[in-house]
A and B are shown apart, each in its own frame.
Chain A
Amino acid sequence: MALLSKKDTNLILDPLADNNPITIQVLGICSALAITAELQASVVMAISVLFVLGVGNVVISLLRNIIPTKIRIIVQLIVVATLVIIVDQVLKAFAYELSKTLSVFVGLIITNCIIMGRFEAFALGNGPWKAFLDGIGNSLGYGVILIIVGFFRELLGSGTLFGIQVMGDPVTKTGLYSTGYENNGFMIIPPAALIVVGIIIWVQRSKNRALIEEN
């Protein structure tokens, strides 16, 4: 017997492409614009959201039958806040420099629409295993876009990947810079992320025409 049934596999694979939280549901755009100037920050953000959403979905799913409907948003907030504080403290303890780059955006995972959205839409109505897979799938879908955007923005904007100069040194003019190439300052500023995300959406929809809305 396979480890995952077909339905379970879809829970993970759907959000990666045809039901991607960023490019299809257009959720979590705020952080995708703010922290993707560097690839490292994108990866850490993706992992943080993976943890928060994976664990959070399970917790909410386990509690789903005892949470009074009227105060469910408050309960959800408490769960996210707890998990986000754990992530924040771990980052501060083990990767202080990085946590300074990410600054408020780790704390703002609380307000990431993807998380509350999955709690509401999925975890409240499904068992813990399914909720866990859904959480993993959605945060992976989020993370993939973050990493793609981060890759292009850091490569074109700073000429580095994970802080390593892959195109040569812009100051001493080695590598590609000796030909007169220069870093593109536009890629550093957040509007560039909006355009990169837009291009990803464009490419995705021209590959899969079923995604194009009729109007």
Chain B
Amino acid sequence: MSTKRLTFKKRLHILKHRYRGKKMAPAFNAFHTFLFSPDETTHSGSHIRAADDLKRTMNTVIMALVPVLVFSFFNTGYQHYSAINGFPENFSVIDHFLTFDNFWLGFVQVMPLVVVSYGVGLLIEFIFAVIKGHEVEEGYLVTGMLVPLIVPVDTPLWMLAVAVVFGVIIGKEVFGGTGMNILNPALTIRAFLFFAYPTWMSGDKVWVHGAVERAGTADAISGETILGYLAQNNASEYSYSVSDMFFGFIPGSVGETSAFLILLGGLFLVFSKIASWRIMLSAVIGALVMGLIFNGVVEAGWIVEGSTFYSLMNFEFWQHLLVGGLAFGIVYMATDPVTGSQTNKGKWIYGFLIGFISVMIRVFNPAYPEGVFLAILLMNVFAPTIDHYVVRGNIKRRMNRLKQATVYPKTTDGKAKELKVETI
């Protein structure tokens, strides 16, 4: 049989041609495109040849996420064993963190989340592509990787599946698919999970693997996030050092803990020109400004020690960047080119308000110890409005410049005639 010698790629290619024009064609095409580079070229219109298509853009973001994912394996194991056996004294990264036990436990816990996220999400994309008869877009590649990184490690898989179905259909497909969505799909999924199943998304049990099932038994363990601890107990002391926070040896959602690796990922995205440095920088500034305002309120003595928001307001302003999902959200979510602002000036405003509002929600709403996803979703909604006014402002400024440069003919009474500006 000669077909035996055909490569997998060739067979897929034949299959694709056999199904051309049939109903299931988009599904085969998608599978082919996913694995290999497509052999078709654009047929009509003018087009340019560029090295980066949607798929390469997406893959670059995935590459920036891989270190975070691998770190999350280790951290899941580290948090679990430390909660059971006690945190090691004289902590050393090699001996206590980068162990195979840690890695394996995290791998077993986190990989199912990744598989479910991709499996369900891509299934929905395939179904919609077949129903609507268009080609599958690569939009879910990044979303599918982001989702497992922003949920607590013990999230039940069926909940994740339900949320992915909701997020992909309501957050993206109803608006017309990839590139047309108003809200970031990964954050829509996170928000759905938060409002639908709050007991699995907040509190002091969900952040460390095993804490939920051990609750109420003699072996009970707990692991609060730093923000959750401050919000709940109104304390000013917590057991993690600044370097723990920076390198990410703290409890939290799967991939959000390591500010260090997120910073590296962010730099990679900036230098590969995939993500906007303006949004990242302005979001950091926004968070620092809000944090400084809160610190200033405490300094000025306007809030007494022990009152409701004291401990969170007293939290060092720059440490807000190291805890919770703020760094992760700024680097990987706020910079989403579809849902963010498009204009350069708009990006500054958009980013600044994300940082500003995130820290505000953190401090003022004890029910939401983490405000990043809410802040980004809110600004996603406002991004088109910001862009609209930036564009209008540009038009107006240029019109004024034009008006000043134009010499008007004098009218009979000696006054210059006004040029009427058509509003666009």
Contacts and interface: CB of A to CB of B under 8 A. Distances in A.
Contacts of B200: 182
Taking chain A's interface residues, is the majority helix, strand, or loop, or is none over half, making it mixed? helix
A9 interface: no
Given A180-B156, A180-B158, A185 B174 contact: no
A184 B158 contact: no
Contacts, number: 22
A96 interface: no
B197 A184 contact: yes
A202 interface: yes
Interface in A168-211: 180-182, 184-187, 189, 195, 198, 202
Contacts of A187: 196
A195 B183 CA distance: 15
A180 B156 CA distance: 8
A17 B232 CA distance: 51
Contacts of B192: 186
Contacts of A189: 195
Interface of B: 156, 158-159, 162, 170, 174, 192, 195-200
Nearest to B174: A202
Interface of A: 180-182, 184-187, 189, 195, 198, 202
Contact of A182 (B170, B195, B197): B197
A74 B104 CA distance: 74
A195 B156 contact: no
A184 B174 CA distance: 22
A185 B195 contact: yes
Nearest to B157: A180
18 contacts: A180-B156, A180-B158, A181-B158, A182-B159, A182-B197, A184-B196, A184-B197, A185-B195, A185-B196, A185-B197, A185-B198, A186-B192, A186-B195, A186-B196, A187-B196, A189-B195, A195-B170, A198-B174
Given A185-B197, A187-B196, A189-B195, 12 more contacts: A180-B156, A181-B158, A182-B159, A182-B197, A182-B199, A184-B197, A185-B195, A185-B198, A186-B192, A186-B196, A198-B174, A202-B174
Nearest to B199: A182
A186 B170 CA distance: 14
